[in-house]
Amino acid sequence: MSAQFLEQVMNAQRHRLADVGEAERERVRELALAARRNRQPRFAQALAARPTPIIAEFKRRSPSVGIIQGAADPIAVAKLYEAGGAAAMSVLTEPEHFHGSLADLDAVSSSVNLPLLRKDFMVDRHQVFEAAAHGAEAILIIIAGLTDAEALKLMDAAHAVKLDALVEVHTTEEMLRASAIGATLIGVNNRNLKTLTTDIETSLHLAPLAPAAATLVSESGLRTREDITRLQSAGYGAFLIGETLMRAGNPLATLRELQGLEAAQ
């Protein structure tokens, strides 16, 4: 996913969402408020409750590697993740490039009790309310594709419906921006948007720049237990892992191994 690709996708989202009428926006907002009534944010809380919290991701494909598991069943995968001890789950809902959908989010929400992150290219409050209405408990905010004002609007919308906001950064500049807007849950994406390569050194480099009170999540390119222990030593409190688990022959055992638990038999 290059910087140019990110800009194109974000602009396409803005164009599509500009056509959503006020009546539909209000309908979804009301659904979101009803879904979250008497609820409290529990995504970040669930991460804090585990010694090695893994956000296990469901995705069928990605722009950088193509098809991963094109026919994957979100319910079957979610149940494996829950059985393997995942602290939370990320569900791709972007259809064109990741082959995801809000229907996937619905399916997972109805089948497991894991707190769910809606992972998509968020540019509009309407998407936040969609996330809440379809069972998510957190949203992703990719600061590279947004102004600070846009990111703050998304954060405010998330707070209005009691969702956590995972603010994703790639660079020093973006980490400083995330800190300035008050992000308390910060994801460091190890994918270089210029070269498309992944390197956990990105997470190690950016950790000292994060707000002291923030929960840090390392994302992309995590493959081994050794990767995780290095990142924990640098201050990371959670780990978002997708491709490694989606390609695993036994994702339940792989998930347990990444947590430092005995592999499932």
- Copy the structure tokens of residue 76: 């079957």
Q: Which of 189, 190, 203, 218 is catalytic?
A: 189
Known catalytic membership, residue 220 = yes
- Copy the structure tokens of residue 88: 């939370």
Known catalytic membership, residue 59 = yes
Q: Which residues pair with 66 in a beta bridge?
A: 62
Indicate the pairing of strand 215-219 with strand 116-119.
unpaired
Known catalytic membership, residue 64 = no
Q: Which of 62, 109, 218, 220 is catalytic?
A: 220
Q: Which of 59, 82, 150, 174 is catalytic?
A: 59
Q: Which residue has the tokens 């660079």?
A: 171
Q: Which of 94, 168, 174, 243 is catalytic?
A: 168
Q: Which of 150, 174, 219, 243 is catalytic?
A: 219
Q: Which of 57, 82, 130, 174 is catalytic?
A: 57
The sign of the torsion formed by the CA atoms of 236, 199, 164, 105 equals negative
How far is residue 113's CA from residue 74's CA, in Å, rounded to a whole number? Answer: 14
Known catalytic membership, residue 162 = no
Q: Which of 119, 130, 174, 243 is catalytic?
A: 119
Known catalytic membership, residue 153 = no
Indicate the pairing of strand 61-62 with strand 66-67.
antiparallel
CA angle 8, 12, 13 (to 5 degrees): 120
The residues assigned a catalytic role are 57, 59, 119, 168, 189, 219-220
